[in-house]
Amino acid sequence: MSEIEIDYPLVWDADVLHKPYEIIDNPILNRQNLFESNVRSYPRRIPIVPNKAKGIYIKDISGKVFIDCLAGAGTMALGHNHEYIKEAMISLINSDHPIHCLDLATEIKDQFVTDVFNILPENFKRTATIQFCSPSGADAIEAALKLAKIVTGRSNILSFHGGFHGMTHGALSITGNLSPKKGISNLMSGVMQLPYPYHYRCPFGIGGHEAEEISLHYIDNILSDPESGITLPAAIILEIVQGEGGVISASKFWLQGIRKIATKYNILLIIDEVQTGIGRTGKMFAFEHAQISPDILVLSKAIGGGLPLAVLLFDKKIDKWASGAHTGTFRGNQLAMKAGSATLEFILKEDILSHVRNVSEYFNERLIYLKSLFPVIGDVRGKGLMLGLEIVNIADDPNNLGSYPGNKELSRIIQQECLKRGLIVELGGRNSSVIRFLPPLIITKDQIDDVLNILHDSIKVSISKK
Ligand SMILES: Cc1ncc(COP(=O)(O)O)c(C=O)c1O
């Protein structure tokens, strides 16, 4: 990969990066607290006011530089203000091309569709069609659920514990996390949530390959048992690596088993690659690791090059929509398509997938080393540049698999200590006890060292505070 230049008039050196930083009370944050709804979330944990960004770095108005390992929740695949994407967007703006035009055909859209088809695995591409949704992952999920119901004439959906699919009514209904569901009655009915293979906290209490076999046997059984009380679902929906659920990746064996079950019972397999798609795991799509194909593929986040865009891809055979049956005003964001095309082009041109595989292996190894230093790191896991550390309470008793309970308080303190030292990380997983890393895909090994140095110091200080 060619060197990513940071020709930015900022001081990126280690002194600045590691300078302890106390979060200041500033008027913009005060006004945000005053005027913005309680629903705001990230600013509560990351109370900064960014006004410049380049590559993996964000600078806030006080001049402090942060390494951004959140990257717009995985959206900024090539980092902030990547020159290649910027130039593409500027050229579109300067051309007076319409910026938004519903779902009308344009040259920009034509190119984007060509670029998306170009990255699809051959067997999926041959018969695929693309659907533009309103520009959020959640809307694309809604569309996928509706399509599955239309195609199969069935109404139930199977999803998984720990799965996250968005915050709209349908998407929330199939999401595992109970807290955003509180107080919301009449979520979508007909949803059944099943155990996901989470080895560190195995839902069957046994872990390993055997747990995956039991899981597959159980799912097959509930679908075939005439007295299971479960009518056949329209779709099974899953993430290949659960992101918000705590960076939990399913094995090839289990995914192939699920694929077989879906085919056996004519259930559509919806693979939600909103977070894992476009190179995040070291392959263009995470399902490629398992050598399976989805019936419906859901993409958002990185596909728009940092701008809002969401699409579905599925076999023409199941394209049973009536015209206009899932519309949305903002399905024609030309700037996002242009940025998306530039992102895909750059990823291929610079072989970013090999880069991701290379640096993520290093990142993972270093995290495993950190685990050997700090027993409060119960588990290191993930795929590609979607990595997580589960922080645990070693003062408590471990379960029968030797896993300690999650430590929400300590993970929160570590997150804050990281922020003070110039590193943005997010929490996820059960009780927010997983520290998540979703850096831009262009992160280098040296930059990973910076991340790990800050993390090391932050964990050390946090343990002494607890
Ligand atoms: C796997 C997955 N699906 C769906 C969504 C929802 O996307 P959005 O927040 O754009 O609605 C997310 C968001 O984080 C996600 O990670």
Per-residue pLDDT at 25? 67
In order of start, what are the domains of the chain with their CATH numbers?
A: 94-349 (3.40.640.10)
Residue carrying structure tokens 């030797």: 402
Q: Name the average pLDDT for the chain.
A: 94
Per-residue pLDDT at 8? 36
Give me the count of residues in the chain: 466
pLDDT tens for each residue of 101-144: 999 999 999 999 999 999 999 999 999 999 999 999 999 999 99
pLDDT at residue 22 greater than cutoff 60: no
pLDDT tens for each residue of 236-273: 999 999 999 999 999 999 999 999 999 999 999 999 99
**Nearest atom (ligand 1) to Cα of 73:** 14
**Nearest atom (ligand 1) to Cα of 166:** 6
pLDDT tens for each residue of 41-98: 999 999 999 999 999 999 999 889 999 999 999 999 999 999 999 999 999 999 999 9
Which one of 172, 300, 386 would you pick to mutate in the ligand 1 pocket, going by the greatest count of ligand atoms within 8 A of its CB? Answer: 300
Band of pLDDT at residue 354, cut at 50, 70 and 90: very high
What distance in angstroms lies between residue 137's CA and the mean position of ligand 1's atoms? 5
pLDDT tens for each residue of 285-325: 999 999 999 999 999 999 999 999 999 999 999 999 999 99
For 192-220, the DSSP string reads EEE----GGG-TTS--HHHHHHHHHHHHH
What distance in angstroms lies between residue 462's CA and the mean position of ligand 1's atoms? 30
215 lines ligand 1 (CB under 6 A): no
The mean pLDDT of 196-205, rounded to a whole number, is 95
Per-residue pLDDT at 245? 97
By percentage, how much of the chain surpasses pLDDT 90? 91
pLDDT tens for each residue of 323-337: 999 999 999 999 999
165 lines ligand 1 (CB under 6 A): yes
Dihedral of alpha carbons 372, 375, 379, 385, sign: negative
What distance in angstroms lies between residue 465's CA and the mean position of ligand 1's atoms? 34
What distance in angstroms lies between residue 132's CA and the mean position of ligand 1's atoms? 16
166 lines ligand 1 (CB under 6 A): yes
309 lines ligand 1 (CB under 6 A): no
What is the residue type of 37?
Answer: S
What distance in angstroms lies between residue 166's CA and the mean position of ligand 1's atoms? 5
What distance in angstroms lies between residue 281's CA and the mean position of ligand 1's atoms? 16
The answer to whether the beta carbons of residues 388 and 243 sit under 8 Å apart is no
By percentage, how much of the chain surpasses pLDDT 70? 94
Stated as kind and residue range, the H or E segment containing 383 is strand 377-383
The protein residue with its alpha carbon nearest to ligand 1, atom 3, reads: 165
Q: Does the reported pTM lie above 0.85? A: yes
128 lines ligand 1 (CB under 6 A): no
Cβ contacts of residue 271 below 8 Å, gap of 6+? 237, 238, 239, 240, 285, 287, 294, 296, 297, 298
Dihedral of alpha carbons 83, 87, 93, 97, sign: negative
